[in-house]
C-alpha cells in the first residue's frame, strides 16, 4: 500500500520566479486549512533553499524512520500539520546542497514514495522556482496519485508575471490543472492612515489570470505582521485576524476548500 494512499488531495504551489512567496503561501494555506479542521502535510521539494522548517519553527527537528519509511515532522501535539523537507536531513543548517539533476530527482522520488504521511486531507507541495528538473520529477512522481492541481504565485510587476506565464505553459505541457493564480506582495497598507501604496505596481496577476482563462484567487498585501510571524514561526491565521493580509489568505483557502 502506497504512503500516499491516505492523502485525499495533493496541491502544488508553483512559480516561474524566485522570491515571490511560494513558501509563505504554502505555510499560510496550511494554517488556514488547519483552522478549518483539516489535516495537512507540506512536502518541501525546494532542495537548495528549504525554508518551510524555519517558517514553522521546527528547523532543529530530526526525521525518524518507521516500517513504512520516513516519519514526517509534526508541528503541533495534535499532529494536524506534518512536514518533510531536506532541511531536516542536513547535518548543519548552513550546509549547501550542491547536487546535479539525477541526485535531486532520486531524492524527490524518495520523498514522494517513502514518507509515511498517514491520513491527510491535503498535501501541499512547495516547489523551487522554475520549470526544470525538480518540477518534472515532482509532477511525474505524483501523477499516479492524481494531484488536484497547482496554485501559481506571482508578484504584480511585469517581470514576475512574464515568468509565471511560462509556468502556465509548463502546467499545460505536463497536464497539470491550474487551480488559480495568487498575486502576492500586492500593495502595502499603512498601519497609521490605512492608505494602500502599490510598491510593485498592481494587477499583474489578475490580468494574467483573465488572459489565461484561469481563476484568480486573490491579492495578498505586504504585511509586516505576516513577515514577523513567518520569521518567528508563529501562527499568523490565529494571532492576527485583524491584519490586512488575513482576509485575502482566508479567502484563498476557502476557494481551495470549495
Q: Is 213 annotated as a binding residue?
A: no
Q: Is 16 annotated as a binding residue?
A: yes
Q: Is 49 annotated as a binding residue?
A: no
Q: Is 130 annotated as a binding residue?
A: no
Q: Is 196 annotated as a binding residue?
A: no
Q: Is 17 annotated as a binding residue?
A: yes
Q: Is 171 annotated as a binding residue?
A: no
Q: Is 164 annotated as a binding residue?
A: no
From the number of C-beta atoms within 10 Å of its C-beta (0-12, 13-18, 19+), residue 207 rates as: middle
The whole-angstrom separation of Cα 19 and Cα 15 is 9
Q: Which candidate, 153, 211, 159, places its Cα nearest to that of 182?
A: 153
Q: Which candidate, 215, 216, 6, 208, places its Cα nearest to that of 119?
A: 6
Annotated binding site for ATP: 16-23
Annotated binding site: 16-23, 190, 193
Annotated binding site for [4Fe-4S] cluster: 190, 193
Amino acid at each position: 500500500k502506497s504512503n500516499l494512499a491516505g492523502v485525499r488531495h495533493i496541491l502544488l504551489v508553483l512559480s516561474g520566479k524566485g522570491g515571490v512567496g511560494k513558501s509563505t503561501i504554502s505555510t499560510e494555506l496550511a494554517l488556514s486549512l488547519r483552522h478549518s479542521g483539516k489535516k495537512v502535510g507540506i512536502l518541501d521539494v525546494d532542495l537548495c533553499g528549504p525554508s518551510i522548517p524555519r517558517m514553522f519553527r521546527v528547523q532543529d527537528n530530526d526525521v525518524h524512520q518507521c516500517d513504512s519509511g520516513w516519519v514526517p515532522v509534526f508541528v503541533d501535539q495534535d499532529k494536524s500539520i506534518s512536514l518533510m523537507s531536506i532541511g531536516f536531513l542536513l547535518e548543519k543548517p548552513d550546509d549547501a546542497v550542491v547536487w546535479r539533476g539525477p541526485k535531486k530527482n532520486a531524492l524527490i522520488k524518495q520523498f514522494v514514495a517513502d514518507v509515511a504521511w498517514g491520513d491527510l486531507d491535503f498535501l501541499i507541495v512547495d516547489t523551487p522556482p522554475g520549470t526544470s528538473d525538480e518540477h518534472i520529477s515532482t509532477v511525474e512522481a505524483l501523477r499516479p496519485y492524481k494531484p488536484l492541481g497547482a496554485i501559481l504565485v506571482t508578484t504584480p510587476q511585469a517581470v514576475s508575471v512574464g515568468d509565471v506565464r511560462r509556468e502556465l505553459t509548463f502546467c499545460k505541457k505536463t497536464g497539470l490543472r491550474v487551480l488559480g493564480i495568487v498575486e502576492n506582495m500586492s500593495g502595502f497598507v499603512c498601519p497609521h492612515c490605512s492608505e494602500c501604496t502599490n510598491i510593485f505596481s498592481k494587477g499583474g496577476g489578475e490580468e494574467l489570470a483573465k488572459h489565461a482563462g484561469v481563476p484568480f484567487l486573490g491579492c495578498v498585501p505586504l504585511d509586516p505582521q505576516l513577515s514577523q510571524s513567518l520569521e518567528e514561526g508563529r501562527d499568523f491565521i490565529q494571532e492576527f485576524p485583524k491584519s490586512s493580509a488575513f482576509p485575502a489568505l482566508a479567502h484563498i483557502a476557502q476557494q481551495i476548500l470549495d
